[in-house]
Amino acid sequence: MQNKNFLTLKLREAAKKNKKLCCIFLTLGYPDLAATERLILSAERSGVDIIELGFPFSDPLADGPTIQDSSEKALAKGATVRSGFRLVRRLRRRGCEIPLVFFGYMNPVYSYGGKDFVRDARAAGLDGLIIPDLPIEEEKDFQKECSAKGLHIVRLVAPTTKDARALKLVRSSGGFVYYVSLRGVTGARKALPDDLAPRLRKLRKMTSKPILAGFGISTPAQAAAISKIADGVVVGSAVINRIRNGIPAAEHFIDRMARAVHSADGHKVS
C-alpha cells in the first residue's frame, strides 16, 4: 500500500469526475494523538479528500494564533516528527487511504536529516509536503530526493506573489497549487478578499494543476462559494476552533465542510 501515492490517485480521480477537493488541516497531537487519528478516520468517512497534517513547531512563520496555540499544546504533550510518522504508518496499516500531506517547516526536517526525513516520511505513507520556508531556489538535493521517492512538494502562491514568481511556483508545484487567499497568517475570517476570483483566474491561466484556496475559510457557505471558482479549499483554523469544543463538534463541522465543497462538484473553473 505504501508504494501508492494517494494524493496522485485522488487528484487523477477528481479531474476525471470534475470533483472539487476538500482539504482539512489538523495539528498533529492536538488535543492528543488519539484524537488526531480519530479525526483523520472520521474525515475520510465524511468524504474529505485530503488531510493537511500540521507537524507542530515552536516558531511557525505562517500560522496564526489559533494554530500556534494548538501547536504549543501538542508540543507540550510530546508530539514529534517520529510520533507523526508512527501515526501515519498505523493509519495506513488500518487501511486508511486518504491522502496525507505534511505541513511543517525546514528546521525539524534539518534536525531529522533531510534524506532520512524523506525516506521515513514516504515509508510511513505520507504523500506530499507543504513547507512554507522552503524556497524553490534552495535545498535542491532535498527536492531531488523527494522527487525520487515520489513525494510531492506542494507550493504556496500568495496574493503578493509577482506573476513571474507565481509562474515558477506553479510549474514546480507537485500535486496541486495552494493559493493563499488572504494577506497575513492563517486564521478564520468573516469575509474573504474581493479580489479572490480575479486572482484565481489569473493563476488558472498559468497552470492546469488543481488550485486549492486556503487561509481564512471559516464557514460551509464560504467553502461552497470558493469551490465554484477554485478546484477546492483548505480549511484549517476553523477546524481547530471546533476541536476546542470537543471532537464530536469538530467531526460534525468537518462533515458539513466536505458536503459544502462537494455541492460545487461538476462546476467547471474558467
pLDDT tens-place string over residues 95-118: 999 999 999 999 999 999 999 999
Res. 61: pLDDT tops 70? no
Helix (H) / strand (E) containing 46? helix 33-46
Q: What is the pLDDT of residue 1?
A: 43
pLDDT tens per residue, range 37-48? 999 999 999 999
Q: Which residues contact 245 (CB under 8 A, 6 or more apart)?
A: none
Q: Which long-range contacts (CB under 8 A, 24 or more apart) does 249-253 make?
A: 250/39, 251/39, 251/42, 251/43, 251/46
Here the cell at position 120 is: 521515513
Q: Where residue 187 falls among pLDDT bands split at 50, 70, 90?
A: very low
Tell me the domain boundaries of the chain: 6-262
Q: Which residues are catalytic?
A: 52, 63
Sign of CA dihedral 77, 82, 84, 88: negative
Helix (H) / strand (E) containing 21? strand 21-27
Q: What is the pLDDT of residue 189?
A: 44
> Residues of 36-64 as b/e, b for ≥16 C-beta within 10 angstroms?
bbebbbbbbebbbbbbbbbbbbeebebbb
Q: What is the pLDDT of residue 190?
A: 53
How many CA atoms lie less than 13 Å away from 227 in the CB half-sphere? Answer: 28
Q: What is the pLDDT of residue 184?
A: 43
Q: Where residue 197 falls among pLDDT bands split at 50, 70, 90?
A: confident
The DSSP 8-state label assigned to residue 154 in this structure reads P
Sign of CA dihedral 31, 37, 41, 43: positive
In the numeric block, the cell 524556497 is attached to 135
Q: What is the pLDDT of residue 182?
A: 60
CATH number assigned to the domain covering 6-262: 3.20.20.70
